[in-house]
Structure 1
């Protein structure tokens, strides 16, 4: 065994442990006849159960799945309607197939194979299969490019001292060299070490409460200068001077843009700021007591509560409409426990006569009066006039203004989350064990302020003081406190469009670009180690394969008593993977944010064999797949190839590199703007599927598509009217162009046309009404009398005339030419414009329908280098607004500006 005797108790605590060595006999035993008929997945929740003899997961009898849970709180038999949640222990009395099926969700996330390619309607090959073929050529390109980069670097290197040469060779030498010896010997050394038995967590995923003391160190960048090929395009111009401003941070004056991407790079990047000024944080308003006629009822009796207990009761009462929370027994139990603690601390409850009321049964609590009160307040706010809402917003903006901006090295920078979260009930994602617990009100005594030494310290609310004041210029947060639910630290940071956040994004994508020159060696090494005799090496290679090929997150150990039970690659359990001969792997688990990850993928045969081995009996549900690997060990191994390389860099690299290759050979010549947008989105969609960024179809999708379809039909109807105008101008046009040219489009039926006419008339009436109201508002603002109602009636005659006109056109099929001095040429130009509009709308509809099961935003915002989008937009004259919203344009200003004069920039 590779583990020492001291490690064995830990291994047994974590479940059955794989053997430290893989014998040739064991390796052969995991292989089967790959030409055998492929059998269905034995526990695929998509397809239902199959006979036990087809199971290749390593045990004879199927276990219940922890990734599918019964969350119907009222009746265990009504589980089909419930969302996914953490499995409750002992829900299933036996291992019968029927019991498992009874907990199957009605709606599964779409498998990648179900997302078809829109532009190839005659081709049934799924998009993930096409992308797999493309990825083979993309990976070959990556291998060639990596070798070319290293060869070019070696040519450009000048003679350096022996010591420096040694250091560089350690970074870039193949693992067969000095570094390689160290890595290869890792397997042998594992005999004297714990060799992968899980006992430590990845630092990147560790709770903040365990890392807070090391915060300054975490902000320090990797040592050494960034390589030339991975640096942002620099113009070598000095940073522009910032214009002096008023000390008032809310003053909206203009100042020169800080182009940090053009500024010389700092030697010591660990120092984040020299001067820092800000006004602290904005606390939520104090609690306002309920009116005397609004009370919590217990067993039908109104009770009086201390103001603190009343506020907690209000948290639950205000949520009665959120049934998925308030009907959850875990939510109820946690709330009631905390509520009782507050009651005990504040003197309990009394009735109207002052007699003690012993609240001990949650089911006897009635929050309806509280809910009605808060609901009425909400409706009253919605019913306010525009002027009242405008005044409220102005008051809110005035209150927030001092906190919205800070002074960072003399520059005015926007603060992101300056508001302290108000108290309430913790929801949590997925089946969080602490859902329903009370989030306490955060007091100034809990908050640490980080600010410049010479800056004025913000004044805390009267009667309070800050927990601490510090001047850490290696930290990028302005304030921090610890919340009471999970003990996590909350930070006030700069906004996404700030220079410091932009630099963080830039570093992330530059790190991914740097991976380009190492990716071929990494893939070659893990392909070799897939057959390693050392189990730890084989597990590590398999994990890297899955992370690289299928964009799985690394994952980490979870404190399941205090955290939702989610998983990633290194923390996959036995029940999270189903194997189907000859090479299909089905993943089904709760991933980040408790979002269900479900996918069926085809893997290399050796990977399939390895996973089969990792599930070998006596392993069972709850046991780790990668039981000799931790995220820390995986990232440590990856860093031997490249400084700072971790599993998460692969997602950014693969997304960006794939997008770059897909964009290279797009048929954009002579394409319209809308066609270019669709071509870009098609590439984005493929990357999103690669990263498994899927979503269930939104409830309003069908309605949106129907509305878009009506817009297309409306454009076709308008095109028909224009054609009839040609005949009105020149009757000979009917004979010249043929009868078919002037007929209705096949999409337009008689019933729809009548409905559309009614819609056009009603739309006209609405416009007239809004214009009338706007004119009256303007007159009132200028001190004039509003128009009388008869003015509105007079204006409405235009809609009546439109109604008569359109109905006459429908009956007679004749349309009188409109416009000033209409001619054949003018009408033909309008018909061409209508054709363009129809084509653009149809492209938009196809694009939207193709995106219904794919979340494009996640990959575009977080994983695709924004410079790729900026270059595409600039190079092909597509407005950047078509890809990035105003908020994203501010966030990625560095990317847009840094490549504006370099359309040949490449990832």
Structure 2
């Protein structure tokens, strides 16, 4: 007689014929007092300050096994990668100096840094520069670190985070009290405003025009935010001044049209020209073939194209040597070969391709590699002509007309076919992304608009007129079955609306954060397992910026978030240390070691009890149920809003008390210090990038190069006036201790080589231009004459090394001029050292991620205006376009 699952008590696994069933373990509905008391052993009773990451942890092998005492990996070799960020600012001296990376050989790998906010680290030797070139003292601002640089930043910031949270909870109560007091009372169907009865419509209008509900652009830069001291009342003027008119015109131009209403209708009229398809496949030359077991094989065009996908990327060993990538590719490749009539040898005999190891793609790689090199070597004029032709063909697709207004379209190109790579250890990496045909694409366009014509011989899948959607076209890709959308560009009004709504939602959370925290702290002690799990999850999401996570199918990447954490993803180290180790968003490894509240630690022990690998820790909680609970506090509140709120609120508090003085680079360092604290306080961390050491060496060379130039300038002073050695002291003219003769000679050789390369490149460009204009190119004799400058430089260095004297350079050289150049050089060195210190501090923090995705851009604008730092130093051109709504809508007094 078989028993159903209902007959089995919760908290036990089904057992049939002595064999444990596959059904996962389910926690009991209630937590018994006995269990609760038992789990209190070794758990601190008092709570600790809000948790901060205390370690990123070592990278481990997949063979390491997870247990309760020792943290281990969850089976991935992928390191925590840094998110790509958009460059903040360029060092002021960049264009004035030659790149030293070309001058001095280094053993470090050539790695491109993904965080252009950061400058490479400088060695300790560089930091201890000579007396004459000391950088400006690093000031301590109100958010600065203590003098004890040996104390970890996380330790210093624990109390600061607790203070910020307490302050935010108090502010939430004050905000709600003010709003309650300001809410008009309803009497006899009418609302009372300021003690007088007002018709409901009029009262509504008064409310709508309140500071909170106005479009941001209407909060004029001349007004002070409601969070600041009100401006003194001024007499009403009957006539508008010319300045007033100009200000109003500017406000109207940058008014946020979407801030007025949150309705479902997004547009009335919409016109666009559809999408751009990738070019058709160009067959390989007849002499380029795939080889199988040492013999060339003939393939159908579709199969040949797929072989080309793999062959073209043989230099990407990370992918092509990945067993999962190989397996998935080979599975799809065999299916396509079969579909297209099979593979044949040169005599037309069938070739059965069944062993991946016997495939040889080298000839295909060589062909595509030579094509890449050929395109690189094209004359500049030809490259420009090709680009111009491409731009002209794509011009009609760049813009759409949205409610009679021209708006830039985002990615209007249909993704070309290829091999799916994914991020991290994606299980589908290597599968073939098939070509998208017009028959798969649905367009969204206005009813009265002209529907774009599909390519000849094709038709669209469907044409919709959905004015509640902001997409222009969509299709379903074949790898994960996801829908791809063509949307407006980041700097369009609609995209601005999305960003605005996101940050306003986080801004609204500050009104409710005290109640939410009070409730989850209380529910963390609930007898109901579901309530305790939910409360603990909210605690982890709020304190440690964990993502909520969604359920995944078997064929999807094993990425998890808080709600979907499994037994093996969490390791507990008494008394209250928790190690998280799992694949997070985009299959990127999340590893964090954190100190948690004592009750949270006890709860995690309870949730893990009687479970094993594969069992969910929060087995009575789902993302949807969590978000449903959160929405009871505030309409539209979801778990992800906490990340944005905590980052923006923290930055706001830091900037409120910040006093930033000095040069622009010094102010930039203050901003980055605040940004870095946000990233640490909110646990937005990363592992040190593989290229960090290489970048450090390059910057070391760069600063050494400046120190060498500075030393040469000092020697020129002696050439002009030898008595200066006595007046200024011999120490002033000594070679900096960071430099030695061997390095100097290598550096000099690099400078000579760089000069030579510049001359050759300029000569080649001028010849290209002459050829394009159908004139005779210059002869090699001209190049030899020009290269004499490089030879003279080499001879000059040789003489200086021998005589230890440097002749004054330049027309009208004087002591005053060289002293001026020395001062400029010291400023450049100081600036670079500030950036180097920034880089060292940022090596475990991705500032770009925090700044672009989590910190309200209006806070960066406040910093820019408050401390007179050009917004160009803080936001790249792309970001200035994306956040135009923020730049134009707030003044220096605005608060989050």
CA-to-aligned-CA distance 1:433-469 (integer Å, 9 cap, x gap): 3333222221111111100111110000111111111
1:620 pairs with one of 612, 618, 622? 612
Partner of 1:654: 646
1:711, distance to aligned residue in structure 2 (A): 2.1
* Distance apart, 1:531 and its partner CA: 1.0
Q: Does 1:733 align with 2:724?
A: yes
8 Å contact from structure 1 (residues 276, 406) kept in 2: yes
Assess if the C-alpha contact under 8 Å between 1:138 and 1:658 holds in 2.
Answer: yes
- Mean Cα deviation higher: 688-697 or 702-711: 688-697
- Residues 256 and 314 of structure 1, relative CA distance in 2, 3 Å threshold: farther
Report SS of the residue matched to 1:846. helix
2:828 matched to which residue of 1? 837
Residue in structure 1 matching 2:630, options 624, 638, 641: 638
The counterpart of 1:600, out of the listed 593, 600, 614, is: 593
Distance 1:754 1:300 in 2: 51
Between the aligned partners of 1:469 and 1:565, the Cα distance in structure 2 is 36
**In the TM superposition, what is the alpha-carbon distance from 1:473 to its structure 2 partner?**
0.7
The answer on 1:905 being equivalent to 2:894 is yes
1:865-880 → structure 2 map (5 Å cutoff): 865-880=856-871
Cα separation, 1, equivalents of 2:290 and 2:756: 49
Which residue of the other structure, out of 154, 160, 175, is the alignment partner of 1:134? 160
1:819 to partner: Cα distance: 4.6
CA contact (8 A) 2:59 2:79 kept: no
Q: Secondary structure at the match of 2:484?
A: strand
Cα distance, 1:578–1:294 mapped onto 2, change above 3 Å: same
The farther-off stretch of 591-600 and 335-344 is 335-344
Alpha carbons 1:236, 1:264 under 8 Å: kept: no
Cα drift, residue 9 of structure 1: 12
Distance change (3 Å), C-alpha of 1:562 and 1:66: farther
State whether residues 448 and 480 of structure 1, in contact with CA within 8 Å, keep that contact through their aligned partners in structure 2: yes
Q: Is 1:153 the counterpart of 2:179 in the alignment?
A: yes
Q: 2:873 aligns with which of 865, 878, 882?
A: 882
Question: Residues of 1 paired with 2:349 and 2:490: CA distance?
Answer: 55
Q: Tell me what 2:451 maps to.
A: 457
Deviations 1:18-77 (A, max 9, x none): 2221232221100124589xxxx9x9876999x99x9757xxxx8x967124x7xxxxxx
Partner SS state of residue 572, structure 1:
coil
Q: Is the 8 A contact 2:79 2:588 kept in 1?
A: no
Q: 2:853 corresponds to which residue?
A: 862
State the distance in 2 between where 1:326 and 1:631 align. Answer: 36
The equivalent residue for 2:421 is 427
**Secondary structure in structure 1 of the residue aligned to 2:727:** helix
Q: Deviations over 1:788-814 (max 9, x none)?
A: 444444444444444444444444444
Q: 1:677 aligns with which of 665, 668, 671?
A: 668
Asked if 1:850 corresponds to 2:841, the answer is yes
Q: CA deviation at 1:480?
A: 0.9
Partner secondary structure for residue 413 of structure 1: strand
Name whichever of 23-32 and 352-361 sits farther off: 352-361
Tell me which residue corresponds to 1:345: 339
Corresponding residue number in structure 2 for 1:98: none
- Distance in 2 separating the partners of 1:638 and 1:767: 62
- In the alignment, what sits opposite 1:746? 737
Q: Which residue does the alignment assign to 1:298?
A: 292
1:334 aligns with 2:334: no
Q: How many Å apart are 1:586 and its aligned residue?
A: 0.6
Q: CA 1:698–1:393 in structure 2 vs 1: closer, same or farther (change >3 Å)?
A: farther
Q: In structure 2, what is the Cα distance between the partners aligned to 1:756 and 1:118?
A: 37
Matches within 5 A, 1:17-96: 17-33=26-42, 67-69=74-76
Structure 1 CA distance for aligned equivalents of residues 687 and 424 of structure 2: 16
1 or 2 for the larger relative contact order (CA 8 Å, sep ≥6)?
2
| 1:315 has 2:320 as partner | no
Q: Displacement, 1:144? A: 2.2
Asked if the contact 1:656–1:865 (Cα under 8 Å) also holds between the matched residues in 2, the reply is yes
Measured on the aligned residues, the alpha-carbon RMSD in Å equals 3.5
User: Post-superposition shift, 1:873?
Assistant: 1.7
1:259-270 correspondence runs (5 A):
259=253, 261-263=255-257, 265-267=259-261, 269-270=263-264
Q: Which deviates more from structure 2 when the two are superposed, residues 519-528 or residues 15-24? A: 15-24
* Larger mean Cα displacement after TM superposition, 428-437 or 504-513: 428-437
Q: CA deviation at 1:525?
A: 1.2
CA distance in 1, matches of 2:843, 2:703: 19
Q: Among residues 706, 711, 733, which one is paired with 2:697 in the alignment?
A: 706
Q: Is 2:260 aligned against 1:234?
A: no
| Kept after mapping to 1: 8 A contact 2:79/2:687 | no
> Residue 442 in 1 paired to residue 443 in 2?
no
Q: 1:5 to 1:274 in 2, by over 3 A?
A: farther
Task: Give the Cα separation in 1 of the matches to 2:467 and 2:155.
Answer: 50
Tell me if structure 2 keeps the 8 A contact 1:278–1:403.
yes
Mapping 1:462-611, distance limit 5 Å: 462-559=456-553, 561-611=554-604
Superposition map of 1:686-835 within 5 A = 686-777=677-768, 785-835=776-826
Q: Which residue of 1 aligns with 2:149?
A: 123
Q: Distance in 2 between matches of 1:5 and 1:871?
A: 63
Instruction: Report if aligned partners of 1:451, 1:471 keep a CA contact under 8 Å in 2.
Output: yes
TM superposition shift of 1:163: 9.7
- Equivalent pairs counted in the alignment come to 773
Deviation at 1:707, TM superposition (A): 2.2
Question: Judging changes above 3 Å, is the alpha-carbon distance between structure 1 residues 288 and 855 closer, same or farther for their aligned structure 2 residues?
Answer: same
Q: Identify if the C-alpha distance between structure 1 residues 258 and 474 changes in structure 2 by more than 3 Å, giving closer, same or farther.
A: farther
* 1:181 paired residue number: none
Q: 1:299 to 1:874 in 2, by over 3 A?
A: same
Residue deviations 1:329-371, cap 9 Å, x none?
A: 4333333333333333332233333333333443433333333
Equivalent residues of 2:559, 2:585 under 8 A apart: yes
Unaligned segments of structure 1, at least 5 residues: 72-81, 86-114, 166-223, 238-254
Alpha-carbon separation, structure 1, partners of 2:7 and 2:794: 90
Cα deviation, 1:740-791, whole Å, max 9, x if unaligned, reads 1221222222222233333333333334444444455555566665544444
How has the CA–CA distance of structure 1 residues 578 and 393 changed in structure 2, closer, same or farther, with 3 Å as cutoff?
A: same
**Deviation for aligned residue 1:890:** 1.3
Query: For the Cα contact (< 8 Å) 1:570–1:631, is it kept in 2?
Result: yes
Instruction: Determine which of 398, 401, 407 is the counterpart of 1:404.
Output: 398
2:329 and 2:432 in contact (8 A); partners too: yes
Counterpart secondary structure, 1:569: coil
CA contact under 8 A between 2:218 and 2:251: conserved in structure 1?
A: no
CA deviation after TM superposition for structure 1 residue 470, in Å = 0.8
1:220 corresponds to = none
1:622–1:354 Cα change, 3 Å: same
* Whole-angstrom distance in 1 between the partners of 2:722 and 2:702: 30
* Cα distance in 2 between the residues matched to 1:256 and 1:699: 47
Distance 1:810 1:335, change over 3 A: closer
Instruction: For residue 347 of structure 2, give the secondary structure of its aligned residue in structure 1.
Output: coil
State whether residues 678 and 847 of structure 1, in contact with CA within 8 Å, keep that contact through their aligned partners in structure 2.
yes
- Post-superposition Cα deviations, 1:80-118, rounded to whole Å, max 9, x if no partner, equal xx7799xxxxxxxxxxxxxxxxxxxxxxxxxxxxx9999
Q: Quickly say closer, same or farther: Cα 1:368–1:551, change in 2 above 3 A.
A: same
Distance 1:493 1:145 in 2: 38
Taking the aligned partners of 2:469 and 2:8, their CA distance within structure 1 comes to 40
Match of 2:24 among 15, 18, 36: 15
**What are structure 2's unaligned runs of at least 5 residues?**
15-21, 46-53, 82-120, 125-142, 192-206, 221-248
CA contact (8 A) 1:230 1:513 kept: no
